[in-house]
Amino acid sequence: MSKSLKSSEIASHLNLELIGNDVLVNSFSQLSNIRPNTVVFAKKYNDGFIYLLNAHMDIFAIVTSDYKGKLNCSHVISNNPRLDYIKVLTDFFEPVDPDKGKIDPTAVIKIGAVLGKNVTIGANCYVGPKVVIGDNTIIHPNVVIDNIVSIGHDCEIKSGTVIGQSGFGFERDENGDPIRFPHLGKVMIGNNVSIGANNTVDRATLGATILEDYVKTDNLVHIAHNDVIKYGSLITAGAIFSGGVTVGEKTWVAPNTCFMQQITIGSNVTIGLGAVVLKNVDDYAVMVGNPAHKLEK
């Protein structure tokens, strides 16, 4: 950040009422290591946090309504302190990438590829001739995007990810030898999608593999041919989707989960840690275990 802020400026930015003194804020910290003139947040109530926050009169805190009337430090009351803290970090403290909007000279951009405005492509990337990338999208170093792939605007593809390669599909012939099923489809990635490091997103056999708007994947995720991940779903590290899986909107997938091919996961579902999902899942279900079963409320 180029200059210090006052806590009143941050409160105004969040459309929240400042309570307490208008202090100078020039950085950020966490409750376990509070530093002077920083912004902190507390998403849950804890009596110990009251003493901790009141011991620092030169900080600005974002807290829940449970703290109302109990703090002497500069603060605001928020319905979602963690979300508002994220907004503050993003809008005021996240460093500007000096290479944003640039294409590294070591990147290979094939003739025919279509790049939108302000696209960033890092070192040693490969972008094939049938790839379309939307405005303001960031492709980190060592990414391969090939065959028929469209990526929307304001996306981020992290290092080591491969998008658009053929998936795994074979049929045995009369001698029992595996014969590869040609993958001739495409990959369609929406807007504001984030794909983690070392992901694989396979092109469809026929049709399309689809990641809708605001899908976010962690590192080390595999999305197979013809999968559809719908709006706003969050996929954490180590998740493996077999071919033809559909995941509904705003679903949460925990680490190290596996999904049988050709099943449908509903919207607003929670898939628990290490679950092995073999059957269709209804909306709002919580699935745990191997094989995964519905956790009854």
- C-alpha distance from residue 259 to each of 33, 207, 278 (Å): 40, 20, 6
User: Has residue 1 got a pLDDT over 50?
Assistant: no
Q: What is the DSSP string of 232-251?
A: T-EE-TT-EE-TT-EE-TT-
Query: What's the whole-number average pLDDT of the chain?
Result: 95
162-179 residue pLDDT tens: 999 999 999 999 999 999
Judge if pTM exceeds 0.95: no
Peptide bond into 291 cis (omega under 30): yes
Average pLDDT for 31-35:
94
Q: Which fold has domain 5-93?
A: 3.40.1390
Catalytic residue status for 153 = no
Which of 75, 140, 222, 225 is flagged as catalytic? 225
Q: Tokens 């469209």, residue?
A: 150
User: How many other C-beta atoms lie within 10 A of the C-beta of residue 149?
Assistant: 22
295 or 8, higher pLDDT = 8
> What is the fold of 108-294?
UDP N-Acetylglucosamine Acyltransferase; domain 1 (2.160.10)
Which whole number is the average pLDDT over 227-238?
Answer: 98
The structural domains of the chain, with segments of one domain joined by +, span: 5-93, 108-294
For 64-118, write each residue's pLDDT tens digit.
Answer: 999 999 999 999 999 999 999 999 999 999 888 888 889 999 999 999 999 999 9
Best CA proximity match to 242, nearest among 263, 211, 256? 263
